[in-house]
Amino acid sequence: MEQAYAPYSNFRVGAALLASDGSVVEGCNVENASFPAGSCAERVAIGAAITRGLREFVALAVVTEATEPTPPCGVCRQVLIEFAPELPVLCATTSGAEARWSVSELLPHAFTPTSLGRR
């Protein structure tokens, strides 16, 4: 979260993805002057993990400075469910509030690889 590039929203987000080999891959949000070109912390983390050859994940932590824990956005839910439908998502604030959901809870009735007849 401290590395977040969020000059437009001032909403800094940090994500940490625990992979099944025990490694932790981090991400932060990266905004852009062309607003839709920005990326969420969760997608930055998953992209970095995939780039490292990691495909199996154990948990995701998301931290912000909001007053209440904030769950991943809809686009991030879709990206997460591709790799880890049952992934626990632990969302916390820097003041210590916490909430926890699974990706499937956050995105019920999802369009997944199974929908394309895969896996």
**Residue 79 in the binding site for ligand THU (CB under 6 A):** no
Residue from 26, 42, 98, 105 carrying the catalytic annotation: 42
**Where would I find the H helices in 36-84?**
41-51, 74-83
Between CA 31 and CA 56 the distance in angstroms is 27
Q: Binding to ligand THU (CB under 6 A): which residues in 4-23?
A: 6, 9, 11, 13
CB 30 within 8 A of CB 69: no
Residue 88 burial (10 A CB sphere; 0-12, 13-18, 19+): middle
Name which position in 42, 61, 69, 103 contacts ligand THU (CB under 6 A).
42
Helices 41-51 and 74-83 cross at an angle (nearest 10°) of: 30
Residue type, 25: V
**Residue 41 in the binding site for ligand THU (CB under 6 A):** yes
42 noted as active-site residue: yes
Pairing between strand 57-64 and 88-93? Answer: parallel
**Residue 47 in the binding site for ligand THU (CB under 6 A):** no
**Residue 29 in the binding site for ligand THU (CB under 6 A):** yes
Contact track, ligand THU, 56-75, x by CB under 6 A: ----------------xx--
Catalytic residues: 42
Which residues of this chain interact with ligand THU, rule CB under 6 A? 6, 9, 11, 13, 29, 31, 38, 40-42, 72-73, 76
